[in-house]
């Protein structure tokens, strides 16, 4: 990726972010539609941000690791983005009969999420590789019974076919797009897993 900023070597370049040079966090819908629907509602709790406890851990079997670099000024933004993407993705997938953020019936499935990584790294000099890194632990419970406890990981770089951004541009925007793309692909994998296991719940 050729960036229109001067780059220094290293992985976490928070000092080189250009605030105001990029757009809002990109909308990246999963477009996942379930073949069957689970006949209960699901309650999406606000994700718990545990990223600082997992810095330096490899993600998705790649050389990329959990990191502190992201384009957010507000520390709560990561949790809010993940929550909104979960809610939207579940609503459009039709996996559950209803999606909410607060319990409405005793039969609701409760979704608890831990964010272990949601960041971006860059590597290279002059021509840089940008990676979006997402790593979530998800627990689904119903009536005190754990239905699922699984970790989902995904890395998308600006060289991957899943990348939806420009091949040249500002570093901060490339960070946002790769992060959004990695989260989208992670959610698709997550919803597929939900659908595969729901028949046994």
Q: Quick one: average pLDDT of 158-171?
A: 88
The pTM of the full predicted model, rounded to 2 decimals, is: 0.88
What does the angle CA 83 – CA 71 – CA 157 come to, to the nearest 5 degrees? 85
pLDDT digits (tens, 9 = 90+) for 60-115: 999 999 999 988 888 899 999 999 999 999 999 999 999 999 988 989 999 999 99
For residue 185, give the nearest of 150, 149, 157 by alpha carbon: 157
pLDDT, tens only, 168-189: 778 888 899 999 999 999 999 9
**Contact between 101 and 86 (Cβ < 8 Å):** no
Overall CATH class of domain 2-198: alpha beta
Q: Rounded to whole angstroms, how far apart are CA atoms 50 and 38?
A: 29
């Amino acid at each position: 990726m050729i960036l229109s900023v001067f780059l220094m070597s290293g992985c976490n370049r928070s000092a080189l972010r250009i605030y105001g040079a990029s757009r809002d966090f990109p909308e990246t819908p999963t477009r996942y539609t379930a073949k069957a629907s689970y006949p209960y509602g699901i309650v999406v709790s606000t994700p718990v941000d545990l990223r600082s406890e997992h810095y330096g851990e490899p993600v998705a079997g790649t050389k990329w690791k959990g990191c502190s670099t992201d384009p957010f000024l507000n520390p709560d933004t990561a949790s809010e983005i993940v929550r909104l993407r979960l809610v939207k993705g579940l609503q459009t997938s039709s996996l559950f009969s209803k999606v909410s953020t607060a319990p409405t019936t005793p039969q609701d499935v409760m979704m608890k999420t831990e964010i272990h990584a949601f960041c971006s790294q860059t590597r290279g000099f002059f021509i840089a590789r940008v990676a979006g890194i997402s790593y979530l632990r998800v627990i689904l419970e119903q009536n005190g019974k754990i239905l699922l406890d699984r970790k989902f990981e995904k890395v998308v770089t600006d060289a991957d076919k899943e990348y939806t951004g420009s091949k040249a541009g500002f570093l901060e925007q490339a960070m946002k797009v790769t992060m959004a793309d990695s989260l989208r692909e992670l959610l698709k994998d997550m919803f597929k897993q939900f659908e595969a296991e729901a028949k046994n719940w």
